Structure 1
Amino acid sequence: MANTLNIKPSPSTDPPRRAGLALGLLLVSAFVVVLNETAMGVAIPPIMADFGVTASAAQWLTTAFMLTMAVVIPVTGLLLQRYTLRRNFFTAMGLFALGTTLAAIAPIFELLLVARIVQATGTAIMLPLLFTTVMNLVEPDKRGRSMGLVAVVTAVAPAIGPTVSGVILSGLGWRWIFLIVLPIALIAIAAGARWLRNVTPTSHARFDILSVALSALGFAGLIYGLVSIGEPRGAKGSFGIWLPLAVGVAALAALIVRQLALRHTDRMLLDVRVFAHRAFTLSTVAIVVVSMALFGSLILLPLYIQQVLGEPAHVAGLMLLPGGILSGLLAPFVGALYDKVGPRVLILPGSIVVALAMFALSTLGGETPVGLVIAMHLFLSVGTSLMVTPLMTTALGSVTPVQYPHGSAIVNTLQQVSGAAGIALFVTLFSLGATSGTGTPAASAGGVQLAFLIGALISCAAIPVAVFLRRPTQPESAESS
């Protein structure tokens, strides 16, 4: 793996092979933890039956996971600077394994919810850890291939999560979703103890309590408000929608001001000066757009397949599986192409394909053949595959090495926020379209068409952005803003 990834000389005394093992272990571990993020959706009905909870309460198993990710990921920029690779890895996988164990044995719903929060904390640390390690260890002209493998984690694992859980539920209980994952997590921890070494640099960085508080309040408020938009009126809670959104936006504005005030100190939580790099800003905008399309379609297509076509949940998962597999197969090849041709040649056609696929999905109806639905999803998967790896590589490759942890934390946080926004938008538009009819499958199909049509129009915003993207020029020698 070291030769394939072209590992840079490590700041430690470990040879390149050791760094290659570190990346391989991080890739496998991250795939497992991210797979678990979307695995609970299909398991909601049996969990409701076992614990006697309502759908709105059970949905918190997913909502709380997203909220925790949004709160913890911004803090990882500082964690990755301050602590070693081994310490961050064992913290992430230890928390994930603990949460998985608690979830598997939870006798009451409240403990299961706590377990999901613990799981999410580990997942939130693992994702930026993977990105930052790749940026530190892999040569700039070979990062596309490595980030292609990372895309298998960030794009494919969430896509096949519902399918995997659906297959497990077809023959076993919902606890087996955790019981099957737990041994893999424990093996990863054991492998880390044996092979993982500190191959990334650290620096002394101090926590700023006010920044952490503003970040938690801002991103949690934003995610909570966005997720609440798609919930039924009676499930929105006493805070409603707009109060959390307003608090979130205000806290984030204060966070930005605070970070700029701390820019000459070692107390910055997030270095917002990464947005001074044009390629980072443009790539991040496109990442937000494609994440909205990806996560929105992942939540809406299963609803369409079940409520309009009348197929069971496990069939819906299997229908989306080919797209997930295709994304996984394409990601390494797209990464290798990036190293040769740069970002624009891939991202521009990819953004066009995503927009066309969304327009095609806006024609779905009650009589659409199953094969055509699968083909449309495959078309969308091709477009997102052409975009995800080049965008991530361009964004993080355009900042200075000292900014890698901050850039990674910002990109991953915005992915969570835009994913939540995509889910909220698609579900809300679906509900509006469906309730404007008679509640029949035909009315639900109208909601699906409306959601994908608006999604298609939003997806078009990535096309002009792609025109201006260029390969980052020698980011290692760039000066911080």
Structure 2
Amino acid sequence: MDAVKGKSMEGKQFKTVPIVASFLIAGFIGMFSETALNMALNDLITIFNIAPTTVQWLTTGFLLTLGILVPISGLLLQWFETRQLFFASLAFSILGTLIAALAPTFEFLLVARIVQAVGTALLLPLMFNTILLIFPPEKRGGAMGMIGLVIMFAPATGPTISGLIIENLTWHWIFWISLPFLVFALLFGIRYMENVSTVTKPKIDILSILLSTLGFGGIVFGFSSAGEGGDHSGGWESPVVIVSLIVGVLSLLLFSIRQLKMEQPMINLRTFKYPMFVLGLLLVFMSMMIILSTMLLLPMYLQGGLGLTSFTAGLLLLPGGLINGFLSPVMGRLFDKYGPKWLVLPGLALCTVVLWFFTGVTTTSTVALIIVLHSCLMIGVSMIMMPAQTNGLNQLPPQLYPDGTAIMNTLQQVAGAIGTAIGVSILASGQKTFLAGVSNPADPVNIPGALTAGVQNAFVFALIVAAIGFACSFFIKRVKPKH
């Protein structure tokens, strides 16, 4: 990245490269630890003698914390300086990682994950808001591309690296290895991070915070609980799931009405007056549903359908993740030069075609085919996410940047919960249908076929989402900011 100097709205110059580097280091380790623990879930079930539905709280608790705190980030960005929020996010991340590394029980580990999530919830919106403030619109694509590299590269390498760690050490070392990098990111930020935003300290409305917490928290919890489900918890028919979703939807409705009536809203919903922001939001939402449902389905298919080990499955998914990460800066520069349409449109077309192929995978599909399809899917995603997101945020006036980044990041968490829950539900339904049609459902020989049938059905859902996104992408236009 060129060592250019950005200018804020007041004309102040910033050393952009050290600021971005601080976010990249902190963001990489935060995103790495988010996915790395997934490979250890089976071991944790045995070590702590807990049920699979209990261990899933390590993921659900993380998502729930993000769903509650990220919407409030728009308010925090206006109340605290950039350095204060950056140091707070690193402090929570370091504390959570240390507790996890020392955790003697499942309860301690769950608390650690929630503390880690607080750090991530502070860091992500701050990172995007800072990029919007220190880079002019014509250079934001390249900067967002660097952020995209970290956001995709870290989760891609997480399962593979953690698989190696688990094979040779204990699961605690996932966190012990992360800890020194987080400390380094904190020290680096102390030296180079600058205050880039203007602190306005708007009035805090407690009722808005409460409604936001119940709304986004209820929806994320409801969908996550349904996704964990299976027969044990009742899935979508569980009273907990139904009540959570009803409370979440009603609270969000009341929250939206209140925000529109307030002079200083917690989240300014007038961002939805900008059509390219709304379209970018929809495309990012659908992309996240595709990514996270695929990240769940493919490991299950590789292990349950093809009979591969978890470490081998992680290795097979590594090329696609690396390709996506390395292409993000390239797509950023292409976006700066050509705009979003000629990236987003072919990207969604590629995703639609690849997902159509995924609906036909079988227990005899080759490993090479899966690697090629997954890599092509990740290329398509790299062409969609950053251009759609950056183009949408570019249309907003600077005073709405905190609100825009808060909305964009919040709905990404909601999309993840919804995509995962629906994917798991369709997979389970497909398995039941398959087993109902065989002579001996209890025969272990039928298990891989049943899982593969469920995965095929779940990919049909992802295909429909991609097709809708492709239709929407025809309406995207390049934004030329007047500010």
Asked if TM exceeds 0.5, the reply is: yes
CA distance in 1, matches of 2:297, 2:206: 39
Residue 114 (structure 1) aligns with: 111
Deviation by residue 1:175-208 (Cα, 9 ceiling, x = unmatched): 0111000111111111111222213322222221
CA distance in 1, matches of 2:48, 2:450: 32
Residue 479 (structure 1) aligns with: none
- Residue 193 of structure 1 is aligned with which of 187, 190, 195? 190
Change in 2 beyond 3 A, CA 1:331/1:45: same
**Percent identical residues:** 37
CA distance in 1, matches of 2:156, 2:337: 28
Residue 276 (structure 1) aligns with: 273
- Residue 441 of structure 1 is aligned with which of 431, 448, 451? 448
The reply on whether 1:350 has 2:347 as its aligned counterpart is yes
Aligned to 1:367, what secondary structure does the other structure show? coil
CA distance in 2, matches of 1:475, 1:303: 48
Aligned to 1:363, what secondary structure does the other structure show? coil
The reply on whether 1:452 has 2:459 as its aligned counterpart is yes
Which residue type is aligned with residue 423 of structure 2?
Answer: F
Which residue type is aligned with residue 272 of structure 1?
Answer: L
CA distance in 2, matches of 1:157, 1:242: 34
The reply on whether 1:88 has 2:85 as its aligned counterpart is yes
CA distance in 1, matches of 2:250, 2:161: 39
CA distance in 2, matches of 1:65, 1:85: 24
- Residue 404 of structure 1 is aligned with which of 391, 401, 406? 401
Greater shift, 19-28 or 368-377, is seen at 19-28
CA distance in 2, matches of 1:163, 1:278: 40
Residue 465 (structure 1) aligns with: 472
The reply on whether 1:164 has 2:161 as its aligned counterpart is yes
- Aligned 8 A contact 2:359 2:460 in 1: yes
Residue 233 (structure 1) aligns with: 231
Residue 431 (structure 1) aligns with: 428
Aligned to 1:7, what secondary structure does the other structure show? strand
Which residue type is aligned with residue 37 of structure 2?
Answer: M
Which residue type is aligned with residue 381 of structure 1?
Answer: M
Which residue type is aligned with residue 49 of structure 1?
Answer: T
Which residue type is aligned with residue 123 of structure 2?
Answer: M
Deviation by residue 1:318-340 (Cα, 9 ceiling, x = unmatched): 11000010001110010000011
Unaligned runs of 5+ in 2: 436-445
Which residue type is aligned with residue 396 of structure 2?
Answer: V
Residue 258 (structure 1) aligns with: 258
Aligned to 2:34, what secondary structure does the other structure show? coil
CA distance in 1, matches of 2:465, 2:137: 32
- Aligned 8 A contact 1:397 1:475 in 2: no
Residue 326 (structure 2) aligns with: 329
Which residue type is aligned with residue 227 of structure 1?
Answer: S
Alignment of 1:149-228 (within 5 A): 149-228=146-225
Aligned to 1:3, what secondary structure does the other structure show? coil
Deviation at 1:38, TM superposition (A): 1.8
Deviation at 1:172, TM superposition (A): 1.4
- Aligned 8 A contact 2:218 2:244 in 1: yes
CA distance in 2, matches of 1:70, 1:130: 17
CA distance in 1, matches of 2:179, 2:83: 20
- Aligned 8 A contact 1:296 1:422 in 2: yes
- Aligned 8 A contact 1:399 1:475 in 2: no
CA distance in 2, matches of 1:470, 1:276: 15
Residue 294 (structure 1) aligns with: 291
- Aligned 8 A contact 1:12 1:200 in 2: no
- Residue 373 of structure 2 is aligned with which of 372, 376, 380? 376
- Aligned 8 A contact 2:214 2:251 in 1: yes
Which residue type is aligned with residue 459 of structure 1?
Answer: A
- Aligned 8 A contact 2:28 2:154 in 1: yes
- Aligned 8 A contact 1:218 1:249 in 2: yes
- Aligned 8 A contact 1:82 1:205 in 2: yes
- Aligned 8 A contact 1:350 1:387 in 2: yes
The reply on whether 1:8 has 2:36 as its aligned counterpart is no
Unaligned runs of 5+ in 1: 477-481
Which residue type is aligned with residue 261 of structure 2?
Answer: A
Change in 2 beyond 3 A, CA 1:398/1:372: same
**TM-score calculated relative to the size of structure 2:** 0.94
Greater shift, 111-120 or 19-28, is seen at 19-28
Deviation at 1:364, TM superposition (A): 0.8
- Residue 70 of structure 1 is aligned with which of 67, 70, 85? 67
CA distance in 1, matches of 2:178, 2:98: 10
Residue 245 (structure 1) aligns with: 245
Deviation by residue 1:269-320 (Cα, 9 ceiling, x = unmatched): 1111101100000111111111100000000000000000000111111110
Residue 311 (structure 1) aligns with: 308
CA distance in 1, matches of 2:57, 2:324: 29
Aligned to 1:395, what secondary structure does the other structure show? helix
- Aligned 8 A contact 1:104 1:176 in 2: yes
Size of the alignment, in residue pairs? 470
Residue 138 (structure 2) aligns with: 141
- Aligned 8 A contact 1:90 1:189 in 2: yes
